[in-house]
Every structure is written in structure tokens, then in C-alpha cells.
A and B are shown apart, each in its own frame.
Chain A
């Protein structure tokens, strides 16, 4: 069934008492009776007062599933990540290019700049990452999603390499490096999805895996999150 149709039906049923009151208002206003109008406004007010928190709650859960929450994971937990960790809820997107068997992963580069040190680490957000079925048996899809996490870690290490090469502690310069790296990381993630077409093109997937793994190995010395000046 059309999703717009379902939403309209729900809203129609929900607002049916309001519509009923509106009908009475129109009918009574011709007779000069203003009481139904007050009643109608009251109905309208309470309808929205109930609806708005529901919608807010719905949006929050869609962003982060607090009903099944798991704290963001750092890269050292990489090997333990399975689809069981993909706890996010998806209310709006039902398929990816017509394929209902899809997943996505949410990662980020988090930084904390102190007086003489910087902490940068890549995070994977289980409660914001989604898979259509938790117990699904697709190593390929999991592998594809997990390489998104590796790519974030790769760019985190790149940032640490650049910051470590600075002659002195410069907060503005560090912020600039992190900002640039975040931009590059997003671009790379998009290219990865485009070239592999979300793991459909296996030869491209393998090419990326080799590239990312070798680059990560080259930057092993930047594994630790903290850079001390």
C-alpha cells in the first residue's frame, strides 16, 4: 500500500473528531452560536499537543534508536561488529534502488582539542546504523558496511598523521585539518558506494578492500587516539 496513503488515512482518523467539530462550528455559526468554535479550538489544541510529541519521538527514534541503545564503538572493537550491532530503526526508507535487503552504517570522526594534546577517533554508531534483518546471512553486505567503518578510521589516521607533522600546537590549524579530512572522508565514502554500487560490483569491492587495508597498515603508527605535543 502507498505509504502516503497510509499516512493520510492515519491523520484522517486521528483528526476525525476535529473535522466533526468543524462541521458543527460551520452549522452553528450560521445561527450565531459561538460556543462550538471554542470547543473546536480546544479539540484542535489537544490534537496537536498529543501529535507533536509523538512526531518528535518518532523523529528521535528514527535518528537514534534509544529503545535498543548501544554506545558508539571505537575502532578497536572492529572485529566484534556484526549485524547484531546494527540497532537503528528506519521508518522512512523502505528500499535502496528497489532492493529491500539493504543496510547502512553511521560513522564519524570525533575530536577533542585540549591545551597541548588532541584526541581523534573514529566512531561507529550501532543505534543509528540499520540493517533490514538482524540475522541475515550476507557476509558480503556486512563486509561492505564494515569497510565504511575502516574508511572512517583511515581518514582519522590521516588526520593524526597531518597533525603530528605540525611543528607546534596550533588549534586553528588542527581544526582546519580535521575539517578538511572530514570532507575528504565523506567524498571517499560516496565514491566507495558509487564504484562498488553498494557491494554489487565485487571486483571493485575487492579493489577498495585492498586499497583501504594497505593504507591502514601504512598508518599503523597513528592507531592511538591521542597526539601529545
Chain B
């Protein structure tokens, strides 16, 4: 009997000492999150929360820091833009970040019974993270193709690069597909969405001004007819004008 009591006492001590006060843990004191951190954090956000539990949001002062860290573009830029690091290494890191980002897309895509996004601002921040990441990732890939080619000016190399840029543009078009779900966004969400077009699509066109943006222009024109948001329409118009201006320059 007494032995049982001792065992129970020891078990109680063990249980008490191994209890964790924090339910969800994130490396918030770490200045930059690397791929491993993203792996753990995305796993936690995707599967560590109950279905009715609120995820970290920008509006919640207690959890804001988590989503800010998650969507902080400096986390990949600090490596991908570091010219002291080797191109292959940066390309490898970019690829890993890209894989992580694909898993990130599932975190904030929930909709309510009225087909409204529950976390539209957070979802868009994840999107913007991905748009910026892809621009860097594809650029690094193209730089590596050029670097490893005997002659970077051959038709084969140029075709590979153009094909990559084409894929990148297609990936960007998926963002514009969200206009089909325009009504699922809040007003703030629509503003953030339009801002995404202004910032990231302009950056893409600046980086590859000679690429073929016909598909993007057509898509933007179709979405312009469909959209009911003035903010989004303004951004689409700006995008169409930017593509036209580049076309004029190139002809």
C-alpha cells in the first residue's frame, strides 16, 4: 500500500513538472526563421490547432507576432539576397522555402457558412510572401542556368529561361484567380488584395520587362469586367497599363 502511495506521489511530481503552460510554441525570440523553423511552425499551424480554435491573426495583439513572423519576407530574403552565399546554396534554400510556402497556403484558407474567408488578411499575407519568394526563387534558378551554361547566349539556355519566366507568370495568375472569390473577402481584404497586385506584379514586370505578358493582360481584362471592387479595378487597370507600356517600349 505504502509503495503504491510513493509511486503515486512520484507520478504526480513527474506530471506536474512536465506540464507545459504554453499550448502552442513558436520560436518568436529568433530573429530569422529558417526552413526548419517553417517546417515546425507550419506543422503546428496546420495540425496543432483544434478545428474550432482561432489561429493567430493580425487583429489579435497576443498572436499578431506569430503571423507577422510567419509572413516576414526577411526570413528568406536574408539568405536569397545575400551575394556572399553561393548561388547553388541559395537556390537550394529557395527551393526549400518554396516547398514550405506551398504548405503554408493551407493554413488560412478556411471559409465560413456564408463562404467568407475567416482569415483573409492573413491568407493574403501568405500569398504576398509566396509571390515575392517565387520572384527570387525563379531568378536564382535562371541565374544558375546561365552560370552553369558554357554559353549563356545560346538558344537552348534562352529557351529554358523563357520557359521558367512563363511558369512564373502563370503562377502569378493564380493570385488573380482569387478575384473570382472576391465576395469572400472583407473590405480590408480587398484593399490588401489590390495592394498585392500593385506591388508584386509591378516588381515582376520590372524584373522581366521583355517577357510575354499577353496571358496576364487578358486575364486582367477579364477580371476587370468581373470585379465589383473599385480598389481591385484600379489595380487591374494599372497593371494593364503597365503591360501596355512595356509592350510599346519593346516594339
Contacts and interface: CB of A to CB of B under 8 A. Distances in A.
B13 interface: yes
B31 A202 contact: no
Contacts of B10: 12
Contact of B85 (A98, A194, A202): A202
A201 B78 contact: yes
Contacts of A4: 17-18
B174 interface: no
B36 interface: yes
Given A2-B18, A4-B18, A9-B14, A97 B30 contact: yes
Nearest to B20: A2
A206 B17 contact: no
Interface in A148-186: none
Contacts, number: 47
A167 to B, nearest CB: 45
B90 to A, nearest CB: 10
B4 interface: no
Contacts of B31: 194, 197
Given A203-B82, A203-B83, A5 B30 contact: no
B32 A197 contact: yes
Contact of B36 (A8, A98, A200): A98
Contacts of A19: 6, 9
B84 A97 contact: no
Dominant secondary structure at the B interface:
helix
B85 to A, nearest CB: 5
A5 B85 CA distance: 41
B83 to A, nearest CB: 7
Interface in A81-139: 97-98
B29 interface: yes
Contacts of B18: 2, 4-5
Contacts of A201: 32, 78, 82
Interface of B: 2, 5-6, 9-10, 13-14, 17-18, 27, 29-32, 34, 36-37, 78, 82-85
17 contacts: A2-B17, A5-B14, A5-B17, A8-B13, A8-B14, A8-B17, A23-B6, A97-B29, A98-B30, A194-B31, A200-B32, A200-B34, A201-B82, A202-B85, A203-B83, A203-B84, A203-B85
A-B pairs with the 3 shortest C-beta distances? A202-B84, A97-B30, A203-B84
